[in-house]
Amino acid sequence: MKNLLISLILFLLPVSLCGQIQYISSNLSFLYPNDYVEKHTRNIQEVSVKLVPKEGYGTLRTDNIIIHLSNQYSSLNQIKKDEFLRLLKKENELGFKQMGITNFTWTPISYEKKTVSGKQVISILTKTDMPDYDIYMYQLQYIYVQNGKSCFITLSYDVGNDNYKSKINYILKSLEIL
């Protein structure tokens, strides 16, 4: 009943007047900035929601946000740092291999458990260098667990600054796992 009430309240909010858009499904509900749109095609892996910048909003095309819900972890305490980073590296290697990129370096920059917008998360920042393309990319990922389900929110961007944290924090603030 509580989840239904929360969903109804979020649905009735005049989100279009506040510069935000609401995503709602049978599993997830959250608000996201109106300079992003939902993209229904996936390049490599299946995820719950993929957000990409709208054209003409001054954001770079690489600034993508992925939200994925899974049953992988039912609490943050189940996540073991070394094992998780190993799996994350392996997932990146597989993705780059599928895209035909073999020369890259994946580096974890930070891994910490912290509170963001009143929610306990694990925050991971990584950097990937692709020298053949003269490209480097950062990924900021939050892992949040609610109702026994784990949600991975990943923001990819190619400029190393903290301005992007506000976008992922904005989503996390209203995120509800239903």
Enclosing H/E stretch for 81: helix 81-98
The one-letter amino acid code at 44 reads I
For the chain, which residues make up each domain, given as ranges? 2-177
pLDDT in tens, the chain (178 residues): 444 333 333 333 333 334 689 999 999 999 998 888 998 876 556 688 999 888 755 555 567 899 999 999 999 999 999 999 999 999 889 888 888 889 999 999 999 999 999 999 999 999 999 999 888 889 999 999 999 999 999 998 877 656 678 889 999 999 999 8
pLDDT of amino acid 118 = 94
- pTM metric for this prediction: 0.82
Unique residue bearing structure tokens 């026994």:
148
> For 2-177, which CATH class?
alpha beta
Which H, E and C letters describe 108-168, residue by residue? EEEEEEEEECCEEEEEEEEEEEEHHHCEEEEEEEEEEEECCEEEEEEEEECCCCHHHHHHH
Among 176, 178, 173, 177, CA closest to 18:
173
Residues 6+ apart with CB under 8 A from 71: 148, 149, 150
153: buried, middle or exposed (CB in 10 Å: 19+, 13-18, 0-12)? Answer: buried
Enclosing H/E stretch for 11: helix 2-12
- Hey, is 64 helix, strand or coil? strand
